[in-house]
A and B are shown apart, each in its own frame.
Chain A
């Protein structure tokens, strides 16, 4: 027991029902939603569940008057393009808010441009402005490694880093900083800024999706837009994913989204070509195999073979 004993209720209950506490926190539905809406990402979900458990247990401990120091929750998300880093960060803000770790639960998403100024003396106010906006919520720094430019030692990014580090240390209760970027570049970034490495408690690696995951993601995206795949198109998309993966600039879910956007374009064009015929709602919703098979990806494969 520490000095915090004074704040504890006079007669703390001898037992506490963790399940009840969990239901009260309202974090269950958010975790469930995470499970339902995000496909794959097992290690990420596991880590989020661990963090949620820690915060929940901490809350209960506080009720018993046991010492509970707020844990450091600054995180780094590493992973290849399109593996859902931003999406998870958005959820993270909500989860931390439900668990009472951050007060407002909003997400401020920034990149180097928002933090680093153009002239001497321009950076500090800019960084502080962003930090003030992020107070009580989550600050998400996308492609954080651009903050540090190794080749230019007079780069203003260093100044932004120093302010960030200071606030990350002093205002641990007020905001959570999430750094995100591609794994190899983030490694180099942490290597040259050891201060960051030690202040970031959770390094979460986002694995690439396998083909089945990507297919499920594609279906989910289409369902969200009130489209559906015909069985033949489903087969085509599965083949597309396998083919696309072998080609350069493959960006996981983002590539799938782009491919589906183009398929929608072709579907619209196909519908438009049947100007005289009357379309059924089913035709408007269905993406056929030909919409997908026209893709450049298949043609290149044929050429290569």
Chain B
């Protein structure tokens, strides 16, 4: 099941050229670009691991793309997302975030039912990937 989180996730995967122009848009707006990765695709998992530090003071998207390649080399079997932080007053938050790398197979989620008190039925979703310990989920 294809994960749909962040911008552009209903579109086909962005090519590197497309990623570059998105990043350039972010940099032109003066946002700091971050790279994050995870192997826990649950939508409630908002805190992904950071790849390096946020990249401040860049002028050209190529620098970000270089880091992305480096990150893919190490964590190419995981989800990698790119987010841009707007530090200007009044915003001070992430302005854009989109997935730039996915695992080969996205297994999706299992629906779990739990019997509650009386006839109550509670539901939760759990990624198949998280059955395995961290770091071995997509290899």
Taking beta carbons and an 8 Å cutoff, which residues of A are in contact with B? Answer: 103-104, 106, 125, 128, 131-133, 135-137, 171, 174
Contacts and interface: CB of A to CB of B under 8 A. Distances in A.
B90 to A, nearest CB: 26
A132 B51 CA distance: 15
Interface residues of B, number: 12
B59 A133 contact: yes
B62 A174 contact: yes
Given A132-B66, A132-B67, A104 B52 contact: no
A48 B46 CA distance: 52
Given A132-B66, A132-B67, A174 B52 contact: no
Nearest to A131: B63
B55 interface: yes
Contacts of A171: 62, 66
Contacts of B55: 132
Contacts of A136: 59-63
A174 B55 CA distance: 17
A106 B64 CA distance: 17
Contacts of A135: 58-63, 66
Top 7 nearest A-B pairs by Cβ distance?
Answer: A136-B60, A132-B63, A135-B63, A135-B60, A135-B62, A104-B59, A174-B62
A104 B60 CA distance: 7
Contacts of B62: 135-136, 171, 174
A279 B5 CA distance: 71
Contact of A106 (B59, B63, B67): B59
Contacts of B64: 132
Contacts of A132: 55, 58, 63-64, 66-67
B57 interface: yes
A104 B52 CA distance: 24
A17 B123 CA distance: 73
B60 A137 contact: yes
24 contacts: A103-B60, A104-B59, A106-B59, A125-B52, A132-B55, A132-B58, A132-B63, A132-B66, A132-B67, A133-B57, A133-B59, A133-B63, A135-B58, A135-B60, A135-B61, A135-B66, A136-B61, A136-B62, A136-B63, A137-B59, A171-B62, A171-B66, A174-B60, A174-B62
